[in-house]
Structure 1
Amino acid sequence: MLASIPFPDISPVLFALNIPQWHFTIGGTDFSLGGFELAIRWYALAYILGILVAGWLMRLAIRRPNLWPEDKAAFSEKNLDDLITWLIIGIIVGGRLGYVLFYKPLYYLEDPIAALRIYDGGMSFHGGFLGVVMAGILFCRKYQIPMLRAADVMAVSAPAGLLFGRLANFINAELWGRETTLPWGVVFPGYEAQTCSDAVMGLCARHPSQLYEALGEGLILSVALLHLLFRTKALRRTGLLTGLFISGYGLTRFLVEMVRQPDAHFQTLQNPIGYALQLGSWGLTMGQMLSLPMLIVGFWLMAKACKT
Structure 2
Amino acid sequence: MTHPLAIMFPDISPVIFQIDLGSFTFALRWYALAYIAGFLLGWWIIQSLMKRPTLWPADTAPLPAAKVEGLLTYVIIGVILGGRLGFVLFYQTGYYMAYPAEILRIWEGGMSFHGGFAGVVVAGLVYCRRHAVPPLQLADSMALVAPIGIGLGRVANFVNAELWGRPTTMPWGVVFPGAQAQNCPWDWPVALCARHPTQLYEAALEGAVLFAVLAWLVWRSGWLKTPGAVTGVFIAGYGLARFTVEFWRQADAQFISPDNPLGHVVTLGQAGISMGQVLSLPMIVIGLALLWRARRA
- 8 Å CA contact 1:194–1:203 kept in 2: the answer is no
1:268 aligns with 2:257: yes
Q: What's the secondary structure of 2:166's corresponding residue?
A: coil
- 8 Å CA contact 2:246–2:274 kept in 1: the answer is yes
Q: Which moved more, 1:109-118 or 1:159-168?
A: 109-118
> Highest Rg: 1 or 2?
1
Q: Pick from 137, 153, 161: which aligns with 1:149? A: 137
User: What is the letter of the counterpart of residue 297 of structure 1?
Assistant: I
Structure 1 residue 190, shift from structure 2 partner: 1.7
- 8 Å CA contact 2:4–2:170 kept in 1: the answer is no
Inter-partner Cα distance in structure 1 for 2:201 and 2:280: 16
- 8 Å CA contact 1:194–1:204 kept in 2: the answer is no
Residue 291 of structure 1 aligns with which residue?
280
Q: Pick from 32, 45, 53: which aligns with 2:33? A: 45
Residue 6 of structure 2 aligns with which residue?
4
Residue 188 of structure 1 aligns with which residue?
176
Q: Deviations over 1:186-215 (max 9, x none)?
A: 111125268834255751110000000000
Go from structure 1 to structure 2 and tell me whether the alpha carbon gap of 1:2 and 1:110 turns closer, same or farther (over 3 Å shift). Answer: closer
Structure 1 residue 216, shift from structure 2 partner: 0.2
Q: Deviations over 1:140-192 (max 9, x none)?
A: 00011111110000000110101110000001110000000111111111252
Q: Pick from 155, 167, 170: which aligns with 1:179? A: 167
User: What is the letter of the counterpart of residue 17 of structure 2?
Assistant: F
Q: What's the secondary structure of 2:18's corresponding residue?
A: strand
- 8 Å CA contact 1:188–1:194 kept in 2: the answer is no
User: What is the letter of the counterpart of residue 15 of structure 2?
Assistant: V
Go from structure 1 to structure 2 and tell me whether the alpha carbon gap of 1:193 and 1:241 turns closer, same or farther (over 3 Å shift). Answer: farther
Structure 2: runs of 5 or more not aligned = none
Q: What's the secondary structure of 2:146's corresponding residue?
A: helix
Inter-partner Cα distance in structure 2 for 1:197 and 1:68: 54
Residue 23 of structure 1 aligns with which residue?
none
1:133 aligns with 2:135: no
- 8 Å CA contact 1:46–1:168 kept in 2: the answer is yes
Inter-partner Cα distance in structure 2 for 1:138 and 1:84: 13
Residue 22 of structure 1 aligns with which residue?
none
Alignment: residue pair count: 294
Q: Pick from 205, 222, 236: which aligns with 1:233? A: 222
Inter-partner Cα distance in structure 1 for 2:182 and 2:118: 34
- Taking only aligned residues, the RMSD between alpha carbons, in angstroms, comes to 1.7
User: What is the letter of the counterpart of residue 17 of structure 1?
Assistant: I
- 8 Å CA contact 2:166–2:183 kept in 1: the answer is no
Go from structure 1 to structure 2 and tell me whether the alpha carbon gap of 1:166 and 1:179 turns closer, same or farther (over 3 Å shift). Answer: same
Structure 1 residue 306, shift from structure 2 partner: 1.8
What is the percentage of aligned positions where both structures have the same residue?
52
Structure 1 residue 118, shift from structure 2 partner: 2.5
Residue 15 of structure 1 aligns with which residue?
17
**TM-score, reference length from structure 2:** 0.94
Residue 29 of structure 1 aligns with which residue?
none
User: What is the letter of the counterpart of residue 103 of structure 1?
Assistant: Y
Inter-partner Cα distance in structure 2 for 1:183 and 1:114: 37
Q: What's the secondary structure of 1:260's corresponding residue?
A: coil
Structure 1: runs of 5 or more not aligned = 20-33
Inter-partner Cα distance in structure 1 for 2:193 and 2:183: 7
Go from structure 1 to structure 2 and tell me whether the alpha carbon gap of 1:270 and 1:74 turns closer, same or farther (over 3 Å shift). Answer: same
User: What is the letter of the counterpart of residue 300 of structure 1?
Assistant: A
Q: Which moved more, 1:132-141 or 1:103-112?
A: 103-112
Go from structure 1 to structure 2 and tell me whether the alpha carbon gap of 1:10 and 1:199 turns closer, same or farther (over 3 Å shift). Answer: farther
Q: What's the secondary structure of 1:58's corresponding residue?
A: helix
Go from structure 1 to structure 2 and tell me whether the alpha carbon gap of 1:119 and 1:48 turns closer, same or farther (over 3 Å shift). Answer: closer
Structure 1 residue 279, shift from structure 2 partner: 4.0
Go from structure 1 to structure 2 and tell me whether the alpha carbon gap of 1:10 and 1:116 turns closer, same or farther (over 3 Å shift). Answer: closer
Q: Pick from 238, 241, 255: which aligns with 2:244? A: 255
